[in-house]
Each structure stands twice: as C-alpha cells, then as structure tokens.
Amino acid sequence: MKQFTTFPVFHGITDKTDGLFINRDERQEWFAQRYPGTPYFEVHQKHTATVLVIDGKVQPSEAYNTTADAIVSKQKNIIMAVKTADCVPVLLYDPAAQVGAVIHSGWKGILANIVQKTIQVMKQQGASAHHIQALLGPAINVCCYTVSAERIAAFREAGLPVHDNALCLAESVAMQLKEEGVDRIITPVTCTSCQSEQYFSFRREGPDHGTMISFVCL
Ligand SMILES: [Zn+2]
C-alpha cells in the first residue's frame, strides 16, 4: 500500500502485494483487520458522474447498493474508497473545511466531468477549491491506451488532451481539477498496464482482473 507524506490526510492506495480485492467481503475484511471499528464505505461504480454524500445517516450497505462513482464526506473515522484497474482514482481533501472525497474516473467519468461534480458537492459541504489538495493514483497511460477515433474526437471536442490515437487519463483529470481551481495536485507518473508487477489492469488482464483500492479516512 502506498501513502504520500505530502498529502495531508490519512489515505492509502493498494497494489498487487495487498490482495486481489475481487469481492466486497475481501475488501471489508482487509480494512477491518487493519483499522478495527472503522466502517468501510464503497459505492456501486458504474462510470457515472453521480456523487454520494456520506453524512452519518448512510450505512455502508446502503452506499454499496447506491450507483455512484464518487463519495464526499466530513465524517471522521470512516474509510471512503474507490476501486480501479486502469481508471483514475482521485483522492481529495480540504484541510481547512475538513471535507474529503474519493473519485473513480475513467474515460466516461472524464467526459461526464465527475471531477467538477464532486468539487461542487465538496463546496456544498463547506470546502473551497483553493484549499482542496488532490492525489491521483495509478492509471493507464499513453503508452498502453490507444482508443477509437470516436473517443479521440470526443476528448478533442471537450478540450481535453489527446496524443495521436492515445489518451493519458490522469492528464485529463489533472486538467479538470485545475479548471475547478485545484492547483495542488500530486500526480505520480504510472501505467497500470505496463507496470504489471505492481498493478492490475482491465485492458491487460480482461474482466477477471483484480482491483486497487484508493481510500481516504478523515
Ligand atoms: Zn503503459
């Protein structure tokens, strides 16, 4: 599990050495063993731009059955997590307002601008863009992400960066964060597909791939 000392809230990003995390029981158990008594929240990810707010009334089982691709919360001592294997996991935190968020954004989430939606919801919870800090986890990179001409055209039309017939998803997410006024962004250069000893990749491994978990805990 990776942690970044410059990101100002408790967080982590798992890799292949931590587990496959294919089913929810495995994920819950892993967190229950490491952080006893800390509820584990994830949502039913569907490449949407839907944001779920965890406000103390929402139970982990309800969140699990809610279709969404981002979680925003001010609640202390809960794990809020997203699963990825090529898509970009985005961790956000406003240390002044103490509002945190996690986002799962692949190409669909980027075109739907889930980053913008999540920051809007964080603002409703008291955050301000210039206080928000961001950490992007491992995602598929230009070297391994050739896509269709239609998808390239859609990214161009949205004003997002393209590299001939390939995309760097993290680059687009970083651009969207900057457009919202988030300037402090940690973006390690990764590629889930070619760094195969470290990361799971949907594109490389197909539908039976494992998953990385990225989480924040206030
Ligand atoms: Zn690559």
- Ligand 1 centroid to residue 158 C-alpha, Å: 24
With a threshold of 0.85, does the pTM exceed it?
yes
Instruction: Compute how many other C-beta atoms are within 10 angstroms of the C-beta atom of residue 108.
Output: 16
Region for 42 from its dihedrals, namely left if φ exceeds 0, alpha if ψ lies in -120 to 50, beta otherwise: beta
pLDDT (average), residues 67-85: 98
Higher model confidence: residue 182 or residue 208? Answer: 182
CA of 8 to the centre of ligand 1 (A): 29
pLDDT digits (tens, 9 = 90+) for 4-21: 999 999 999 999 999 999
Q: How far is CA 39 from CA 36, 79, 156, 165, in A?
A: 8, 6, 41, 42
CA 144 – CA 183 distance, rounded (Å): 27
How far does the centroid of ligand 1 lie from the alpha carbon of residue 135, in Å? 20
Average per-residue pLDDT in the chain?
97
Residue found under tokens 């739907």: 112
CATH number attached to the domain at 10-139+169-217: 3.60.140.10
What are the distances in angstroms from CA 88 to CA 29, 95, 136, 142? 24, 22, 7, 13
Residues 148-175: what's their mean pLDDT?
Answer: 98
pLDDT for position 59: 96
Q: Ligand 1 mean position to 80 CA, how many Å? A: 28
Distance 98 CA to ligand 1 centre (A): 35
Cα(60) to ligand 1 centroid in Å equals 35
pLDDT recorded at residue 62: 97
